[in-house]
């Protein structure tokens, strides 16, 4: 059975994901288990779980190659991408599908989590 992960994301990026501008969520490490969706925790100042994004695919490539594949729908600048993956041999991107925005933003504790994860946490 596929799992879900909860990821902390900056409000600017959350906004772009919800608007459909950012169709990839980049990560330095990817979940080892097969996941079906990302639960999105919007960081300060919101500090709430605001949406769920379907995962269509998980890409794993050297950073330059990943950028070439995803840049049209990255929702970020090349400079930001390069800084994020600096000195990395591999880069990961979750290709996002359908986004379900919660009617009411939810607290982490509702998911059994006490503190926001640095990278991600399985649910």
**88-121 pLDDT tens trace:** 999 999 999 999 999 999 999 999 999 999 889 9
**37-78 pLDDT tens trace:** 999 999 999 999 999 999 999 999 999 999 999 999 999 999
Q: What is the pTM of this model?
A: 0.94
**3-27 pLDDT tens trace:** 999 999 999 999 999 999 999 999 9
Contacts for 59 with CB less than 8 Å, ≥ 6 apart = 24, 66, 69, 70, 92, 93, 94, 95
Parallel, antiparallel or unpaired: strands 120-122 and 48-61: unpaired
* Alpha carbon distances (Å) from 121 to 21, 71, 103, 118: 25, 26, 23, 9
Dihedral of alpha carbons 107, 110, 111, 113, sign: positive
């Amino acid at each position: 059975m596929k799992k879900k992960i909860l990821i902390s994301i900056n409000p600017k990026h959350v906004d772009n994901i919800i608007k459909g501008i950012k169709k990839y969520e980049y990560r330095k490490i990817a979940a080892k288990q097969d996941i079906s969706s990302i639960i999105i925790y919007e960081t300060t100042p919101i500090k709430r779980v605001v949406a769920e994004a379907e995962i269509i695919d998980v890409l794993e490539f050297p950073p330059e190659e990943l950028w070439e594949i995803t840049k049209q729908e990255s929702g970020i600048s090349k400079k930001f991408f390069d800084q994020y993956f600096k000195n990395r041999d591999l880069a990961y991107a979750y290709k996002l599908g359908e986004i379900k925005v919660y009617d009411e933003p939810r607290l982490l504790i509702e998911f059994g989590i006490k503190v926001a994860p640095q990278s991600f946490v399985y649910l």
